Structure 1
Amino acid sequence: MIGFEEFVRARHSSLLRYAYVLCGDPHLAQDLVQQALARCYPRWSQLSAGRPEAYVRRAVTTAFIDETRRPSWRREIRTELPERADQRDRFRSVDTRDALLVAMDDLSPAQKAVLAMSYLEDLPDDEIAEALGLQRATVRSHRARGLTALRDVLTAQEVETP
């Protein structure tokens, strides 16, 4: 049985990365992780007996989904990207990263969660399905649709770049 403080020390940065991929905002990611940990702390003795990381990750996902349901006047909305950089620009990868983050804003929260768990956390479909309360087929469907949407945005960006 792992203690709460020990768990937070060991997994905090991983949870922050996961939350950042979901929301695209480092400050909101910190808030989401903090909310999830605050919700889990009172029941830690029960959670630590099972798979606490999966439960906390699910709590981060739930906090993110709750955040997306807030009225739009209460949250910040990402604006358009600045003009595209010159092709010789050494920082072109930053533009691609920004385009990817904007494209992720258009995905559903479930698609973001599945992609983050698949490619950031490298979790198998079974664990993702369990963590999100989905069927394995739904996990595969969310992944496929999310990747298609991201691929379309990045392909369009390459076509637009001179």
Structure 2
Amino acid sequence: MDRHDGFREFVPARQQALMRTAYLLTGDAHLAEDLLQSVLARVVGQWPKLSEDGNPAAYTRKALVNQYISWRRRPRPELPSADPPGRSTSHEAATLDRIVLRQALAKLTRKQRAVIVLRFWEDLTEAQTADVLGCSIGNVKSQTHHALARLRTLAPELTDRRIEEVAP
């Protein structure tokens, strides 16, 4: 029996969801790939224990968020400074909304961004988010409140719609 039994099946089954989370955290496809790769390299070392104890997906998601928050070498993405052009079609409008949201997310603190991603895109409860971040439910509520207030300030044109409607 190989000590990595199950890992080879886990990665393809969960890769898309994990990559989406990594992308939403980093805002950059290449950084998301780097983040996911570094986390999976750590997870494979823990795999025998994880496969016995239960929930490797939850462990991997938590490791992903923790690694993102602690990354010191993360470069700030370049953000275009020009205002987006006028909206002519619904597809173009949705694309512009995603760009505006991505730019606004990039200006949040790492914890605020992690809370927004976990709560609104991963659809975790406050308690589940607190567990992933290793903090209290009150802290999750506070971070969510401050992050949403900051997003409303940074992207007021999106306040008439829910954030998850313009998610990438």
Read off the aligned partner of 2:50 and give its amino acid letter: L
Q: Distance in 1 between matches of 2:141 and 2:120?
A: 13
TM score, norm. by length of structure 1: 0.84
Any idea what the Cα deviations from partners look like across 1:76-105, whole Å, max 9, x if unmatched? 532224442123355122222111111111
Q: Distance in 2 between matches of 1:125 and 1:153?
A: 24
Any idea what the Cα deviations from partners look like across 1:47-93, whole Å, max 9, x if unmatched? 222321121112111221233x22x7xx3532224442123355122
Q: 1:156 to 1:9 in 2, by over 3 A?
A: closer
2:42 to 39, 44, 49: 39
Query: Would the aligned equivalents of 1:78 and 1:102 in 2 still touch at CA under 8 Å?
Result: no
**Deviation at residue 156 of structure 1 after TM alignment:** 5.7
Q: Distance in 1 between matches of 2:103 and 2:14?
A: 27
Query: Would the aligned equivalents of 2:152 and 2:158 in 1 still touch at CA under 8 Å?
Result: no
**Alignment of 1:12 onto 2:15:** yes
| RMSD of Structure 2 on Structure 1 (CA) | 2.0
2:155 is paired with a residue whose SS is helix
Map of 2:164 onto structure 1:
none
Question: Where do residues 108-119 of structure 1 align in structure 2 (5 Å cutoff)?
Answer: 108-119=109-120
Query: Would the aligned equivalents of 2:27 and 2:102 in 1 still touch at CA under 8 Å?
Result: yes
Query: Would the aligned equivalents of 1:96 and 1:154 in 2 still touch at CA under 8 Å?
Result: no
Map of 1:57 onto structure 2:
61
Question: Where do residues 1-162 of structure 1 align in structure 2 (5 Å cutoff)?
Answer: 3-48=6-51, 49-67=53-71, 69-70=72-73, 75-90=75-90, 91-155=92-156
Give unmatched runs, 5+ long, in structure 1. Answer: none
Read off the aligned partner of 1:20 and give its amino acid letter: Y
Query: Would the aligned equivalents of 2:111 and 2:143 in 1 still touch at CA under 8 Å?
Result: yes
**Deviation at residue 115 of structure 1 after TM alignment:** 1.0
**Deviation at residue 11 of structure 1 after TM alignment:** 0.9
Any idea what the Cα deviations from partners look like across 1:116-150, whole Å, max 9, x if unmatched? 11111111111111111010111111111111111
TM score, norm. by length of structure 2: 0.82
Q: Distance in 2 between matches of 1:76 and 1:42?
A: 30
Of all paired residues, the percent bearing the same amino acid is 35
